[in-house]
Amino acid sequence: MALASTTRLGGWAPETGHRTLAEKAFVALHDAIVRGELQPGERLPIEELADVLDMSPMPIREALRRLDAVGLVENVPHRGARVTELSLEDLRDVYEARLALEPLAVQHAAERFDAEDAARGRERLAALNKPGDRGGSETWAAHTAFHFCLYEAAGSDWLLRLIRPLWESSERYRLAAPSKRKLSMRREEHERILRACTDHQPDVARAELHNHLTRTASLVARSMGGGDLFEPVEVPKPRRRRG
C-alpha cells in the first residue's frame, strides 16, 4: 500500500470522538494492521504517516511505540518501524499464550455465569450464526463479541487486558493465511462452549475452548506450510444437572 496515496487509514476520520491525536493515530494504524490494509513487513515512515493522518510526527511516534508494545509493530535499528512479520514461530508463541489465558478466563466465566450472561451469550452467538453475506470485518466483529462476552463474565480485568492484544495478533494470521474450516463445525464448538458456561461446567468449558483454539492454530499453521502445533485435550463428561 502506498501510504502517500491513502486518504483514509484504518477506518479513522478526523471528526471521530474526542481522543488525543496519539490515540487517534494508534486506532487508525492498529485497525489497518489487524485488517491487513498494512501488510506484514511493510515500512511505516513517520513523515508519510503524518501526512496521511494529517497530524504532526509526534503523535505518530507515540502510536508506533504503543503498537510495538502490543506486538503489531517492530522497530528495526537504522531502518525505522515496520509491521511485524508473520511466521510459524510467532504463530506458535501467540497461540501458546492464548491457550494459557483464554481457557482460564472461560473456566472462571463458567463458575460465575448468571442468567444475564447466558442471555447475552445466546444473543451474541445468534448474531455470529446469522446467515447472509457479511464482510470479513463484520464476521470478525461478531466472533470477537461472542468470545469476549464469555471472557468478560470471568470478572477479571487483567485477563481481558492480556487476552486482547493476543486475540488481535492472531486475527492477522487468520486474514493472511485463511484456513478452510466447516461453518457447522465452528458453530458446534461455540455452542458447546456456551452450553458448558450456562450449565456451570468449568472443566468442560476450559477443555472445549482449548480444543477450539488448537484446531484453529493448526489449520492456520498448515495453510502456512507447517504442521499441527498443539495437541487437543480430553473433554470431561458433563456432570448431570441437578433438578
Grid coordinates in use for 27?
486506532
Question: CB of 238 within 8 A of CB of 199?
Answer: yes
pLDDT at 71: 85
pLDDT at 136: 60
Residue 95 CA to residue 210 CA, distance in Å, equals 10
- For 222-231, give one letter per residue: b (16+ CB within 10 A) or e: eeeebeebbe
pLDDT at 238: 81
pLDDT at 133: 52
Residue 139 CA to residue 143 CA, distance in Å, equals 6
Mean pLDDT (10-residue bins), the chain, 243 residues: 46 54 92 87 94 94 92 87 93 96 98 97 94 65 94 97 90 72 84 97 98 93 92 89 55
